[in-house]
Structure 1
Amino acid sequence: MQRNISEFILLGLSYDQNIEIFCFVLFLFCYVTLLLGNLLILVSIGCTPLFHQPMYYFLSHLSSVDICYTSSVTPKLIGDLLGGTKAISYDNCMLQVFAMHFFGSTEVFILTAMAFDRYVAICKPLHYMIIMNRTRCNLLIFVAWAGGAVHSLPQLSMTIRLPFCGPNEIDHYFCDIFPLLKVACTDTYLTAVLVVANSGMVALVTFVVLFVSYVIILFTLRNHSAEGRRKALSTCGSHVTVVVLFFVPSIFAYLRPPTTFPEDKVFALFYTIIAPMFNPLIYTLRNTEMKNAMRKVWCQTKEAHFSKEAH
């Protein structure tokens, strides 16, 4: 492997300073909202019996992954928007490639586990607690994290093998494989095809599986009561919203001929910042059990605080 450069320059989202200031404020708000929202979910689930319910057990892992996933990109982006040279070292660039694909694919598999949980709850309600026991839930979470590693390690391996000996400017706001392929000083067609086969097919196949599962769920709901349909549709609606926000931009980014487009950065914002930010809002504002759990946890915390002050 030939490498004559020690860092890359990220060209970022825009050259206009006013746009960069606007983006700084927007993404700082998004990142703080994401952190607070997901931490609120983690504490609310961890401190209540909801943790023992499969759906909320998966949701707690999804929140953890969202924090790690977005934190691998957003703090660097926010810092770069403040001004100065948007440089990233070679090692940090490779770490970012790995982290993005590891946490991103882990999120994909956790969303799949959550869809399976909803399928069992709605289509096989009498056997739900037997099928979705804690052992099987732990196994699904293990498979999700292992699947993330199996997906991301080949991506990292292909990227590390690329020779970089010339221009080091990456037309993106984070290190991703397609922009890196553009500045590699070798023929990257085969590598690009392998990336599409890996990332693109993972996104497409998972999306199809999720789509089919929700179609089956909707078909099954015809036999439920009006109240049962309303509750199930509310829960599934939250899941479908998250899936669409995350998968549609991901499929556009990776399941296509290996090249880069100016729109890539806009679509990347959806699956790196926007969708993870909406996850806690979608899963809490539309979920009565989560809202009750949060009230219980935080009201108890306030009561304990006031009781301590009174003594």
Structure 2
Amino acid sequence: MRPQLALLLGVVAVSFAAPLIKLSAAPPLAIAFYRLAFAAAATFLLARGRPGRLPDRRARQLATLAGLFLGLHFAVWIASLRYTSVVSSVALVTLQPVIAALASRLLLGERLVRREVLGIGLALAGGAALAAGDFGGGGAGLYGDALAFLGAIFVAAYFLLGRVLRRTLSTLTYTFWVYSTAAGVLFVLALAARTPLGPYGAADWLIFAGLAVVCTLFGHSVFNWALAYLPATSVTVAILGEPVGAAFLAFVLFGEAPRPGQLLAGTVLFGGIAVYLSAPVPAGTPPPQGADRCASKAS
């Protein structure tokens, strides 16, 4: 299959995540747990029962921390869809690349060129405008926006850790250990919150499986595969099509038509991310990994 076609199919696959979650009557923590548990099991099978071992103590520590952040990301992002619209939730969580850039600047001392600063400013302004538009709809929408933004912070931390781990680990090894850890974190959170993990109807089990297989394996795994054949920036820009696909599906399934203000704010947000991604990489900078300059979010 041509990488460009695979990339298009991957975008379509991840676009189903938010609508599928909205269709499920299960609690958010249960949805998150089964999505990661099923994805870990599927990855184990794809590796033919040999996903590989983490080479040393540092790798184990980083993978555990990455899994923790991934689990927290799914916990809060999936919960956000109970309070705010698909458009706002998916758009706000897409802010993760600019959050990762700011974290790299503050924590690692990485310099930002002028175009990157402009892109970050536009993206954050668009995100703030989205939240401001939901403010008039009551506290629930704003709470959902806050959860989605928190999800962007957690997934940005997950990707920053992935920058280190994926230099030495294969995709299957990395994803298996991170998905397994995230599932364990979500299991503990579900027990602590007394969230029932069953029984559920057949429709919910199909949704759990769809999130794991379609959105995670056919979505994010395809993105990782495409990175071997296409520039990382091309893959990342293509992933920005996910909110568009999710918004279309939300309109078809739930009648959620984006408001004019949402469309304008979303355009500013995505335009800012595109400006950030178009900035030249300084000379001497190592080529980015799949998770570097904003690979996909983990929706």
TM-score by length of 2: 0.30
Larger radius of gyration: 1
Higher helix share: 1
Higher relative contact order (CA 8 A, sep 6+): 2
TM-score by length of 1: 0.29
